[in-house]
Amino acid sequence: VFQNMQTTECDFTNGTEKVRLVQRYIYNRQQYLMFDSDVGLHVGFTPFGERCAKQANSDPVFMESRRTAVDWFCRHNYPIAAPFSVERR
């Protein structure tokens, strides 16, 4: 049995003033590739991940989509997640 998964996290600091998007790509419990919106590039952690990062970083249309995901994914979903994470005490 093999496991291949991707996780996406939006980290909000001071509401939507500072937003960070982190996408992790994992195969068999080992992270091989990560995108961090603060860095703005994919980073590979294994030889396969380095090849994937090189391919993804060389595609300008794909990278523009990833860099703007902070706005169209994280900030768009903030009103949905805020009552469960921010206003709860």
pLDDT of residue 81: 67
Domain boundaries of the chain, sorted by first residue: 4-86
pLDDT attached to residue 82: 67
pLDDT at residue 65, rounded to an integer: 92
Per-residue pLDDT, 33: 97
pLDDT (0 to 100) of residue 86: 57
**Digits of tens for pLDDT over the chain (89 positions)?**
889 999 999 888 877 778 899 999 999 999 999 999 999 999 999 999 999 999 999 999 999 999 899 888 888 877 776 666 655 55
Per-residue pLDDT, 18? 86
Please list the residues that pair with 73 across neighbouring strands: none
- CATH class name, domain 4-86: alpha beta
What are the angstrom distances between the C-alpha of 66 and each of 1, 42, 70?
Answer: 30, 10, 8
